Structure 1
């Protein structure tokens, strides 16, 4: 049976999350007594070395004898070990230029790479992700930003809270006027954002009522693809057709943009799909959105104001829609304030790790240690024995440097 090593995160900036918490490591050891699990020493993770030691998990500096190495973010190339099985978010499957050399190194070192993003069930649905906490922190940050912009209230940043329960103690301080909030998307991220709305007692209304009614209290609506995209030929919206041929559709978001004060963007975006709105639309007099929390953080994607990722340390900047340029945060009432932190779950690392590890234990590990009858591990394996797996052969031109797609 394999020996599993929990990696110290090596990527900069520092990521304090873990894929397996101390208590979960003990559960693995108990459930699979033939599996050995060790934890690499780390002074940065949200659970200390002592937390693992208290659960009886051995700590080590040398992980050479591990068969499977489990991390969160990309492992720096210089730290990759030959002939190992690695689990981490590689950020290579969309041919991201900045990780081309990482994938090359994986192939050169005969590493078996399994990317969390590619772990899916037979229906193609992801079975492990940090999305819920991206939505939770993204929505909280959106409200933090709105309060700062209008000097309405002052709440702690999410990363200054010990965990989600501590963050919830800030809720009574949030005093919103009768604002209208739009959340796009219907997956884990959007559901996480809706958790914050529910926790604050903000009423959900239908998309139609959102546009056609006025309210004396804050409200939000949640939009799916069908609500803000339409077929270019006027036919009724078909969800499967939208996924198969997104270039056959055009944006239909203007009615919401005219009535919303705050946008929390949580929807996955295909580069072939319509943008949510254009910069020209943002500069129009009837564009009423003043704060955008782009949780998806697609640079030059569906939201023109997302010029760059922001950071946990410096989470917001302004966008001047008349110039299409960045400006200092909260610098002019005519600007739109953007929150585009690209590693939101890191702000609540303990809860995010707990959630993620739970899915790893229940949805992934049985197929890794036992028989992979549903081909979950096989489908998610990007590279093995120095070669790309057939499912990921489309990455060969990327590896060979024949494409600059990022």
Structure 2
């Protein structure tokens, strides 16, 4: 019997979850044991999991979980260097040369555990079985618009907070945008055919910002791409790899440009594949804009947990996508899980 252990997220401003109480009830009905750590910050109440039949355990108790428990969370674990003996389902960010990722793999190697990375759970066609992409794009575009509004006020964007739902976000943003002169602004989205790009484009459309949508065909030349500089907004919405060209080169800030805000929604600044080559660190909820040039201003927005701005919608969407794969049991021989396991073995062997 698979024992799934839903851990409480330990990162600030992270209130999402990958499993709803309704989904937990389905796992239990399928013969799994489900333990849920108590959490005051999770967008869905602990009591609802208890009503669904889950075992409720103390917050942050996963290191002492039974050896056979599969630990399920979204964002990173505390960076305390301890060995990791369990199987973990999470976003590891460990397979593209990231420094923190190499440290994480070292911990798994030391403890004998396994990483089943949510980013690499794919179907037979290589498509991810579950992603927060749409809401990342939607929220990321919203924060980028906030950065532009702050610029037009002669400021740098201040802290951002979550919203109860998408309607509340768009209503508040439209009110702010109406107070500045941004009628000439246009946006270019790379990855427009994907989930992230669609989310970014939908937010722009809701704000009446014209969108130029690019995907693989438009970037096949390898660049350079001067058209990016002709738009006030550029949204990077693709999962970069070794074949991804540079979209924004290091000389872009000093070039003649209409570009004012880069929304790097993919947000992988410490990867060797980063196609936005004007910054080297993620931004935060407290400081969402990294100013990389002053006159004229150019800000980079690169928050790496954007769907948490709309935690309920993004959690319910992601959890519904992932549930069929969870029902196939992470410790079984389902091809989705097997591919993720094989990928981990290849990478951990190189540590």
Q: TM-score range with shorter-chain normalisation? A: 0.7 to 0.9
Q: Which string of whole-angstrom CA distances, capped at 9 and with x for unpartnered residues, describes residues 295-322 of structure 1? A: 12232732233232110111012112xx
Contact 2:162 2:308 in 1 (8 A): no
Quote the Cα distance in structure 1 between the aligned partners of 2:248 and 2:37.
46
The verdict on how the C-alpha distance between 1:228 and 1:112 changes in structure 2, with shifts beyond 3 A counting, is closer
CA distance in 2: counterparts of 1:340 and 1:189, whole angstroms: 14
TM-score normalised by structure 1 residue count: 0.74
Secondary structure of the 1:8 match is coil
Paired residue for 2:337, among 364, 367, 377?
Answer: 377
Q: Which runs of 5+ in 1 are unaligned?
A: 203-217, 231-249, 321-331, 400-406
Deviation at 1:336, TM superposition (A): 1.0
Which residue number corresponds to residue 324 of structure 1? none
* Alignment partners' CA distance in 2, 1:79 and 1:29: 33
Q: Which residue of 1 aligns with 2:4?
A: 4
Q: Which residue of 1 aligns with 2:286?
A: 313
RMSD: 2.9
1:119 Cα offset (Å): 0.7
Q: Structure 1 residues 103 and 114, CA, compared in 2 at 3 Å: closer, same or farther?
A: same
Q: How many residues align?
A: 336
Larger radius of gyration: 1
2:166 matches 1:194: no
Match runs of 1:251-400 below 5 Å:
251-257=223-229, 259-285=230-256, 287-299=257-269, 301-320=274-293, 332-362=294-324, 364-368=325-329, 372-373=333-334, 375-382=335-342, 389=345, 392=346, 394-397=347-350, 399=351
- Residues 1-400 of structure 1 correspond to what in structure 2 (within 5 A)? 1-10=1-10, 12-13=11-12, 15-30=14-29, 32=30, 34-61=31-58, 64-65=65-66, 67-76=69-78, 84-151=86-153, 159-173=161-175, 174-175=177-178, 176-185=182-191, 186-200=193-207, 202=208, 218-230=209-221, 250-257=222-229, 259-285=230-256, 287-299=257-269, 301-320=274-293, 332-362=294-324, 364-368=325-329, 372-373=333-334, 375-382=335-342, 389=345, 392=346, 394-397=347-350, 399=351
Alpha-carbon distance, 1:14 to partner: 5.3
Residues 315-359 of structure 1: per-residue CA shift (max 9 Å, x gap): 012112xxxxxxxxxxx4422122121221222222222121111
Deviation string, structure 1 residues 351-402 (Cα, Å, up to 9, x no partner)? 222121111102x1232279645x111101158xxxx63xx2x5433x1xxx
With over 3 angstroms needed to count, the CA separation of the structure-2 counterparts of 1:56 and 1:396, relative to structure 1, is closer
Contact 2:147 2:261 in 1 (8 A): yes
